[in-house]
């Protein structure tokens, strides 16, 4: 039907001296062309397009639409119509005053009644045929469009937040009403008389939806991210640096305090949303409900998804995580990648513990009336972010193996392991299994990488063929590196036990059946219990013992590079003592190696001690031997002189040489000096007391008796300081 309908008609059978009859508002409107063919069709289109004066042109008289310009034309032309004879002065009555525009509330009531009438129509009989469109439909469309024009009128547009609460609520009610009206009219779209009304109402609804969509988008993008909160959450969840293990107790205490504080504050934050106030969330809920009801579900989903995806990406950026391709990760140097892994761990844990649960709560609140939409949108948002995070973990597992990467690999592995049981509680069932499979696959690849790293560590120890002796027989750098490395490895004992068991079971499955192994197979737990209950070492313990045996063998080989046998035993004592001290100081590695292993290594250390004493001081004590000194009851002076000279020369050489040797462990150094003193001084004091009187007092005594027992003790206490003669000036 044309936008310029004429609601004022007259009956041809009425008398000329009476006012023309006005039809009932509930009757169908006739096309103006049927009543008065004189106006052109272009005039109708131009009047329909003139939205600025639309209310001024619309007048209502007893339920019939009457245009002001039509009324003026009737007054000028004598109110001429097709049903009134031309030239009759009493054919029409022109009102002196213009009637007020129709009231929106009253028209809304009529619209509600019309919607109800259409809804109650049933059957195909003549009585159930749809009624004619009442005039209130066009009135309602025009009034609503005028209201929208007031909100969205170019430069003078009014933002939603500027509307009073009552007016905002009223507008949403109007939009809901016009949506229902269009739905009711479209049920009879085959009816020709409904075509114009459907087109008119649909145009107004589109403009209303356009305004709401823009406001919906504006509010969604006006989120606030609290970077301090995000970063703090990430820090408390991220992995602890290995070099700060000594501070773990205080750190854990602080974390416990933070957890308690968070638990206490949780009830008060039950209804809070991550980036919007509750009032804003309520408004978003109303907008989404209006958009979906108005047929704009696709647009509503798209606007919400893009806005929240942008917010999530910004949150990840605030947490320090950047999106990298697999190639980018492969090309990174280890220092850069290590920083990215630290950021990834914090981001991953923050997402799974905080961000996703908050995001799901937000989606459920905004789409409270459309739970399926909420689940779909959250699924798409979280799935995209999780795949991005899991891709990074997989890319890391594909990088070149290196011993220093093991601990970061373990951190990622534990993060993924702890994540899998939470999947069903965080994510929709539609793709929870997919996420668990992806996380398990990435974790499995990391596990295999860690097994390879351990194997390469064993190979590197075995293949270390550096033939340069460590000056002074000190602890070898390889020993320090391996023991510190194993100390931190032992802190991950439970995780590495799991890694090596899974690897062992994969190998068994491949060798026996050729089938793939599921890391989440409950059978794995049963095997763990069986192996633990037996005396047989676990796969991880086996590897640890192998590393220690390889280190011992390597050190034995390096000790042979020393030309001085005594220095070789000092080297083995230094390294053996360092290893035992490290094991004793680490409960984790001590329990791994076991008491039997520790006792054996302690016994080896004592044997090195004995070998040193025999090689060094046994030869010296041979100079103090009584054999051959007495001939026919008299002291053989030449032999005695030679014995003292040999003792002095040998002791001088030992002091000179072994003062440059190094024993860094103070306890071992003290033990060794005491044992030397106990071995040498009593024997020297006895020998000196028995034979010193043989020499003539004075010059002869000073020549051969160079040291007193106290001097010997003083010189012994100067051994193993490593600070007398530069290493390069002495022969090994």
pLDDT in tens, 89-130: 333 333 334 455 677 888 888 888 888 888 887 645 555 677
pLDDT at 168: 79
Residues 6+ apart with CB under 8 A from 159: 215, 218
Q: What's residue 156's pLDDT?
A: 60
Q: How many CA atoms lie within 13 A of 170 on its CB side?
A: 11
Closest to 544 (Cα-Cα) out of 610, 482, 631, 470: 482
Least confident of 177-181, 298-302, 345-349: 177-181
Tell me the average pLDDT across 119-142: 75
Q: How much is the mean pLDDT over the chain?
A: 76
Q: What's the pLDDT score for residue 184?
A: 84
- Residue 261 clears pLDDT 50, i.e. is over it: no
> Residue-wise over 494-530: b if at least 16 C-beta within 10 A, else e?
ebbbbbbbbbbbbeeeeeeeeeebbbeeeebeeebee
Mean pLDDT of 599-612: 93
Least reliable range by pLDDT among 435-449, 457-471, 695-709: 695-709
Q: What is the DSSP letter of 88?
A: -
Q: Is residue 68 over pLDDT 80?
A: no
Residue 235 confidence (pLDDT): 42
Considering only 222-236, 446-460, 645-659, which range has the smallest mean pLDDT?
222-236
Model pLDDT, residue 154: 64
Candidates 550, 545, 671; CA nearest to 598 is 545
Segment among 412-426, 529-543, 551-565, 652-666 with least mean pLDDT: 529-543
pLDDT band at 663 (very low <50, low <70, confident <90, very high): very high
185: tokens are 């009219």
Model pLDDT, residue 361? 92
Helix, strand and coil content of the chain, in percent to the nearest 5, comes to 70, 0, 30
Report the pLDDT value the prediction gives residue 535, as an integer from 0 to 100: 67
466 pLDDT above the threshold of 70: yes
Q: Which pLDDT score is estimated for 249?
A: 36
Q: To which H or E segment does residue 630 belong? A: strand 630-631
For residue 334, pLDDT beyond 90: yes
Question: What pLDDT, on the 0 to 100 scale, is given for residue 519?
Answer: 46
Instruction: Note the pLDDT of residue 57.
Output: 40
d(CA 89, CA 93): 10
Task: Report the pLDDT value the prediction gives residue 475, as an integer from 0 to 100.
Answer: 94
pLDDT at 66 exceeding the cut of 80: no
**By CB neighbour count within 10 A (0-12 exposed, 13-18 middle, 19+ buried), where does 605 fall?**
middle
3-state secondary structure 99-163: CCCCCHHHHHHHHHHHHHHHHCCCCCCHHHCCCCCCHHHHHHHHHHHHHHHHHCCHHHCCCHHHC
0.75 surpassed by pTM: no
Judge whether residue 88 has pLDDT over 60: no
pLDDT at 409 > cutoff 90:
yes
Q: Could you give the percent of the chain with pLDDT greater than 70?
A: 72
Residue 60 pLDDT exceeds 70: no
Instruction: Report the range out of 210-224, 225-239, 264-278 with the highest average pLDDT.
Output: 210-224
Q: Is the pLDDT of residue 615 over 80?
A: yes
Q: Which tens digits make up the pLDDT trace of 524-548?
A: 444 444 444 456 788 999 999 999 9
pLDDT at 148: 82
- Nearest alpha carbon to residue 376 among 323, 430, 315: 430
Residue 481 has pLDDT above 90, yes or no: yes
Residue 693: which pLDDT band, with cuts at 50, 70 and 90? confident
Q: How confident is the model at residue 41 (pLDDT cuts 50, 70, 90)?
A: very low
pLDDT given at position 274: 63
Q: In this model, does residue 267 exceed pLDDT 60?
A: no
pLDDT in tens, 315-329: 999 999 998 999 999
Question: How many angstroms separate the Cα of 25 from the Cα of each of 35, 55, 79, 132, 367?
Answer: 17, 19, 21, 10, 40
Q: Which pLDDT value is given to residue 15?
A: 30
DSSP letter at 618? Answer: I
Structure confidence at residue 6 (pLDDT): 28
Query: If pLDDT is split at 50, 70 and 90, which confidence band does 273 have?
Result: low
pLDDT for the residue numbered 524: 45
């Amino acid at each position: 039907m044309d936008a310029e309908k004429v609601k004022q008609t007259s009956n041809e059978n009425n008398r000329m001296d009476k006012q023309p009859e006005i039809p009932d508002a509930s009757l169908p409107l006739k096309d103006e062309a049927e009543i008065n063919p004189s106006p052109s069709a272009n005039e109708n289109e131009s009047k329909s397009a003139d939205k600025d004066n639309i209310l001024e042109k619309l007048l209502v008289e007893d339920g019939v639409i009457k245009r002001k310009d039509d009324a003026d034309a009737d007054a000028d032309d004598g109110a001429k119509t097709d049903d009134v004879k031309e030239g009759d002065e009493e054919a029409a009555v022109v009102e002196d005053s213009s009637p007020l525009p129709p009231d929106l509330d009253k028209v809304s009531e009529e619209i509600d009644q019309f919607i109800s009438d259409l809804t109650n129509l049933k059957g195909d009989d003549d009585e159930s045929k749809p009624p004619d469109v009442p005039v209130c439909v066009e009135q309602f469309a025009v009034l609503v469009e005028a209201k929208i024009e007031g909100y969205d009128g170019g430069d003078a547009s009014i933002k939603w937040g500027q509307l009073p609460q009552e007016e905002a609520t009223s507008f949403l009610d109007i939009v809901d009403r016009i949506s229902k009206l269009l739905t009711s009219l479209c049920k009879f779209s085959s009816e020709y008389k409904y075509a114009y009304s459907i087109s008119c109402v649909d145009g107004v609804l589109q403009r209303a939806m356009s305004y709401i969509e823009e406001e919906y988008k504006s509010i969604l993008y006006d989120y606030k991210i609290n970077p301090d909160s995000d970063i703090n959450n990430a820090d408390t969840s991220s992995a602890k640096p290995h070099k700060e293990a000594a501070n773990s107790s205080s750190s854990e205490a602080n974390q416990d305090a933070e957890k308690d504080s968070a638990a206490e504050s949780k009830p008060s934050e039950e209804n809070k949303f991550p980036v919007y106030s509750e009032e804003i969330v309520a408004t978003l809920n109303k907008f989404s409900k209006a958009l979906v009801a108005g047929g704009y579900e696709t647009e509503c989903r798209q606007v919400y998804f893009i806005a929240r995806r942008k917010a999530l990406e910004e949150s990840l950026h605030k947490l320090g995580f950047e999106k990298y391709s697999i190639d980018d990760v492969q090309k990174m140097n280890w220092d850069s990648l290590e920083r990215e892994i630290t950021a990834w761990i914090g981001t991953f844990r923050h997402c799974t513990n905080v961000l996703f649960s908050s995001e799901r709560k937000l989606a459920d609140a905004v789409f409270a009336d459309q739970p399926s939409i909420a689940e779909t949108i959250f699924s798409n948002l979280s799935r995209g972010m999780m795949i991005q995070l899991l891709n990074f973990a997989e890319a890391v597992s594909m990088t070149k193996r290196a011993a220093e990467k093991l601990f970061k690999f373990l951190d990622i592995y534990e993060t993924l392991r702890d994540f899998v049981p939470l999947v069903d509680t965080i994510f929709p069932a539609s793709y929870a299994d997919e996420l668990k499979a992806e996380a398990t696959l990435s974790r499995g690849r990391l596990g295999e990488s860690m097994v390879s790293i351990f194997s390469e560590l064993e190979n590197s120890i075995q293949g270390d063929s550096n033939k340069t002796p460590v000056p002074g027989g000190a602890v070898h750098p390889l020993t320090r590196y391996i023991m510190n490395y194993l100390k931190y490895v032992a802190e991950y004992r439970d995780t590495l036990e799991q890694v090596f068991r899974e690897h062992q079971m994969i190998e068994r499955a491949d060798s026996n059946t050729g089938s793939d192994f599921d890391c989440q197979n409950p059978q794995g737990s049963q095997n763990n219990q069986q192996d633990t209950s037996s005396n047989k070492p676990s796969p991880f313990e086996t590897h640890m013992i192998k590393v220690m045996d390889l280190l011992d063998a390597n050190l034995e080989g390096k000790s042979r590079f020393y030309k001085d046998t005594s220095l070789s035993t000092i080297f083995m004592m230094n390294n053996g003592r360092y290893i035992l001290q490290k094991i004793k100081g680490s409960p984790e590695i001590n329990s791994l190696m076991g008491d039997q292993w520790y006792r054996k290594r302690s016994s080896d250390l004592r044997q090195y001690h004995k070998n040193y004493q025999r090689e060094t001081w046994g030869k010296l004590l041979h100079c103090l031997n009584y054999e051959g000194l007495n001939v026919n009851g008299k002291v053989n002076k030449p032999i005695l002189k030679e014995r003292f000279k040999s003792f002095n020369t040998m002791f001088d050489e030992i002091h000179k040489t072994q003062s440059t040797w190094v024993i860094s462990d103070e306890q071992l150094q003290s033990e060794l000096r005491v044992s030397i003193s106990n071995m040498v001084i009593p024997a020297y004091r006895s020998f000196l007391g028995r034979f010193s009187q043989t020499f003539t007092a004075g010059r002869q005594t000073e020549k051969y008796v160079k040291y007193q027992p106290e001097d010997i003790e003083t010189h012994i206490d100067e051994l193993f300081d490593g600070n007398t003669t530069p290493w390069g000036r002495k022969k090994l």
